[in-house]
Amino acid sequence: MIIKIGVDTGITNTKAVHRLPNGEIIKVCIPTSIREALDGLVLSNETYKTKVDNKEYVVGEYKERKSPEQSPDKANNIHRVSVLTAIFKVLEQANYDNVETVEISLNIPFNLFVDKNEHYKMKQLYERDFLEIEVDGHKKFFNLRINLYPEGLGIALKNYDKFGKEKVSVLMLGSIHWSIITFTEAMQPISLQTTIDEYGTLYLVDEIRKELYSKNYEMYDRDIIERLISRTKRHMKEHDYEISEKLAVEYLKKVRSVAHDREIRFDITDTIIAGGGALLLQEQIKRTFKQNTTITDNDPLFADAIGSLSLLK
């Protein structure tokens, strides 16, 4: 049996999806982080103990900030072990036991996608015959095959009929950076991917944190601030909501301005916004971008993974 899984492994989270025969999509999301497991270690409900290549790792520990252990380069063991763990959890949720081969689609930045050496490195790192992986004491065995695609291609295909024009851009709002790439009607990239490292949503979180501290002398964590932005955090001062709303809109205007400086025009190019930032800021996006040219993917967090799954034939 061959199982196909779409994977999106980012600096913050690794997402994996699989479509069941009845059309239901299984979705798994874990933080992209690993460290070597120690004897007697007690795991939280959000972490996993993964054994691969005779080494044990703790996978999925939440990290507040970018650190040396979190890397955008996907040809490394941090991403590989996170991806393998996510694949295992998909197979587990689907109740698949006798899987011969797992075929995954994995999106990488366009500048890496056109690099043949990167394809070779990724295949050498990921592809295995009879891979053995153990998660929390349970084992699975399968052959692993990988297909690489440029980030955003699956999202563009998934949403293209909503525009149907000559070209469409995909804006990925991540926690560490945002990036945008434009595709032709034939789904060929026509512009190099532009990545702006300093303006991921963690930049916004830090700005709100500093502003609230200057007003309240309280240091809120990332979870509280993100719930403030999405207005799912109750029992907060109305003024706190107003501050987070103001800075969120200013953040999106800054993204738009920086893009404009690089000759990327959201007002004249149809654009799909995806990524965790699109989920967090979906209400502010509606008020900041023109709705006749910009839409938010209906499942922004898993958009890249679901889109890449559709590329597997």
Lowest-pLDDT range of 15-19, 108-112, 178-182, 189-193: 189-193
Task: Report the Cα–Cα distance between both ends of the chain, in Å, rounded.
Answer: 15
**Chain Cα centroid distance, residue 184:** 23
The CATH fold assigned to 2-150 is: Nucleotidyltransferase; domain 5 (3.30.420)
The 10s digit of each residue's pLDDT in 21-49 is: 999 999 999 988 888 876 555 566 678 99
pLDDT exceeds cutoff 80 at 286: yes
Whole-number Å distance between alpha carbons of 109 and 97: 33
E strand or H helix at 224, and its extent?
Answer: helix 222-229
- Quick one: pLDDT at residue 69? 44
Of 104, 108, 135, 127, the closest CA to residue 34 belongs to 135
DSSP-derived pairing of the beta strands 48-52 and 101-108: unpaired
More confident residue, 239 or 232: 239
Question: Is domain 161-301 given the CATH code 1.10.3720.10 in the classification?
Answer: no
Tell me the average pLDDT of the chain: 84
Q: Using 50, 70 and 90 to split pLDDT, how confident is the model at 65?
A: very low
Mean pLDDT: which of 20-24, 190-194, 279-283 is highest? 20-24
DSSP secondary structure letters along 133-193? EEETTEEEEEEEEEEEEETTHHHHHHHGGGT-SSEEEEEEE-SS-EEEEEEETTS-B-SPP
Whole-number Å distance between alpha carbons of 238 and 182: 39
Matching CATH topology for 2-150 and 161-301? yes
Sequence ranges of the domains in the chain: 2-150, 161-301
**Once rounded to an integer, what is the mean pLDDT over residues 220-224?**
84
**Once rounded to an integer, what is the mean pLDDT over residues 178-205?**
74
- pTM, entire model: 0.84
The 10s digit of each residue's pLDDT in 129-188 is: 999 999 999 999 999 999 998 888 888 887 777 765 667 888 888 888 888 888 876 666
